[in-house]
Amino acid sequence: MFIVNSYTLAVILCFVIMLCWGSWGNTQKLAAKSWRYELFYWDYVIGMVIFALILAFTLGSFGDAGRPFIADLKQASGSSILWILLGGVIFNLSNILLSASTSIAGLSVAFPLGVGLALVLGVVNNYRVAVQQGAKTGDVGLLILGVALVVCAIVCNGVAASRKGESGISKADQKKGIVLALLAGVIMSFFSSFVMRAMDTSNFVTPAAGKVTPYTAIVIFTLGVLVSNFLFNTIVMKKPFVGEPVSYSQYFKGDCKTHLVGMLGGAIWCLGTALSYITAEKAGPAVSYALGQGAPMVAAIWGVFIWKEFKGAKKGTGALLAAMFVLFVAGLASIVVAGL
């Protein structure tokens, strides 16, 4: 299977993770022109499962290094599988809330608040697991500095969000979008550490018996998302945060192009998540997760400059957004250096 063999390559791939996690929301924005996010989310989940299987049977099965996907799946312990499934369920709950927030408040608000908060709490959780497993942790001081800078960036984004111009959304719904983003961030911070428990992040070439490779982990993880989606998304479809309920019959009335846009979003997210697992050995779980969670900066760029989500905002909002970008970049730089 494909294994990252250097810290430099791991960092490069971490920036790809950042782009993937920060860009998949664009497919939701595109689909939203004619498609409710609850319906989009089904295509998104289907897309991630299909892409995870493609990765497992290609990069996860070719070559002599490590255990190929099928062999690895057969030897996986029950506890490892359960940890990953739990991670998938937790992620799905948080991501549905994030998608709801995106549909209400926009990319430039939902991602910096939700995913930014997940970064802060997730780094702590992943660092704790890495210490327990004896995996690479990076420089603690620089990690703390990086996380602190990201927190400041989140604060700037939160203040900027409160200064947005009229967007056709009521103040009550705007507040609801912010609350959903924050709730999503708290829940999202836990999923990665559960998955990391099931992988031998110190050795992907000859992982411990019962532990799984990143490729097996992403397949099990996405299946956990799919199964839990029948519960979580069904509830949200019947009791939406905003708007009227939607039905499964409406989903099957969607055209092929609309379904493919959602599946593309799932594939983009899945690529980023798979790479976050693949890079965990060389970069360390905490650094790998933290760099990938630089996605809020990417999403904010899309939201501010492409989707014009802050058009008509109050004077001074531009300075807050600029400060957010600078603080995010400084925080990510600190995290990169922490892993050297």
Contact yes or no for 59/1 (Cβ under 8 A): yes
CA–CA separation, 278 vs 273, rounded Å?
9
Contact 237, 246 (CB under 8 A): yes
Q: What is the dihedral of CA 76, 134, 17, 214, to 10 degrees?
A: -10
Query: Is residue 277 a contact partner of residue 214, using CB atoms and an 8 Å limit?
Result: yes
Sign of the dihedral through C-alpha 70, 75, 78, 79: negative
pLDDT at 106: 85
Residues in the chain: 340
- pLDDT of 166 reads 55
Question: Measuring CA to CA, which residue among 339, 333, 278, 269 is closest to residue 111?
Answer: 269
pLDDT at 286: 65
Give the model's pLDDT for residue 220: 98
Q: What letter does residue 314 receive in the DSSP assignment?
A: P
Q: What does the pLDDT profile of the chain (340 residues) look like in tens digits?
A: 899 988 889 888 988 998 998 899 999 989 988 899 999 999 999 999 999 999 999 999 998 888 999 999 999 999 999 999 999 999 999 999 999 998 888 888 888 888 878 877 877 776 776 777 776 667 889 888 988 898 888 788 878 877 775 555 677 888 899 899 999 999 998 888 899 899 988 888 888 999 999 999 999 999 999 999 999 999 999 999 988 999 999 999 999 999 999 999 999 999 999 998 999 888 876 677 666 667 777 888 898 888 888 887 888 899 999 999 899 889 878 877 887 6
pTM assigned to the model: 0.84
Identify the CA nearest to 266 among candidates 108, 73, 35, 45: 45
Structure tokens at 246: 């939607």
| Cα-trace Rg, the chain | 19
Q: How far apart are CA 275 and CA 269, in angstroms?
A: 10
Q: How far is CA 99 from CA 82, 124, 198, 258, in A?
A: 25, 24, 27, 17
What does the pLDDT read at residue 56?
A: 97
Instruction: Compute the distance between CA of residue 106 and CA of residue 177 in angstroms, rounded to an integer.
Output: 8
